[in-house]
Structure 1
Amino acid sequence: MYFENVVLDATDPQTTGRAWEAELGTETLTDEEAGFETRLSVPGGPELDLCFQRVPDEPTERPRLRLDVRAGELAALRLESADPPRDLAFWQWLTAWEPVAGSEVPGLQHPSGRGPLLALVPEEEPKPEGKNRTHLDLRLESGDDADAVAAGIADRGGRELHFGWGDLPWRHFADPSGNEFCVLAARKGS
């Protein structure tokens, strides 16, 4: 399993996505009515897709996942947590990213030591009801057992969410602090 996407809700995915693309120097993957995707390729490190999906209403909730950009680079994905050390262990297992020593907040980084930090920051307030307007996606690799991954998530304090959206090629989960994320099916032929 690997970390693949940062998904952001937007009423105008093209305008929002192109603005982020211009700021980060990323590459367009998809530009269609339903959404805009752009790829951040870190030399010698991870590839992360920023996916802007169309929603009907402007997000009003304070985001629990924020993109921290410094000098035109995505420095960190700052995810609010009720218990940062606990959630650090959860996300480390989930992503296989490694803890960063000497960081001001608990954080993980791609094993290459390159790319953004996944920083677990203390939450300002408990997670409200409702879906996060920005979330993370992970992708299974061929040979990964989706049910075993779901069991591992539950064993580590997460839970599967059932939104009743029909048969989708991904499953919805929440981390121990309630932050939603998706686990996508393995790519065909991989």
Structure 2
Amino acid sequence: MPSERMYLETERLEAFYDAVIAIIVTILVLELPQPKTASLAAIWALRTSYFAYILSFLVCANLWQYHHGIYNHVKRIDSHIIWLNILLLFVVSLIPYLTTFIATNPNSLVSQALYGLDYICVDIILFITAKGLLKSNPENKDYLKEALNIKDSLIIPFAIFLLGFIIAFLGYPIAISFCCLFTILLAIKYSLSH
């Protein structure tokens, strides 16, 4: 006789997710280089590092807010969802490394593509997780669908990133970072309006 799928509550997963995001954000700020002198010119010389930091901080904040919003409607999870979240955190944990990479090489196609690819992987993992959460929480399906907002939160950003990659390969690599910023600003606008 096949065993029934074992479901778990979400509190420990949420706490683990919160802790990892907090550590990533802390590492991001610790990786910011110090200006060589205490002058506006020295600060301005680090503008790409500050831009990369702000962008990555907003990515982390958006992921945390999205995760928090979803798990308010999730009653149970299974080991499949747990491992998808662990995979998500693995991909997100690369953000500090990739932030430094794009800060020091802002016009490099390789650095920008790796940064964008990380974000695309996050999007794909979130999409698969969304499908799994809907399946394991049928009693909350309507509320969960609204919280997941798959079209606006996952499909549209994915399309914007593909556009960024096309523009990057046409000779403007920094387009990937700007597409990332655009998707984050859209997400913030959406979350503030709901």
> TM-score, normalized by length of structure 2?
0.30
| Greater relative contact order (Cα < 8 A, sep 6+) | 2
Greater percentage in strand: 1
Bigger CA radius of gyration: 2
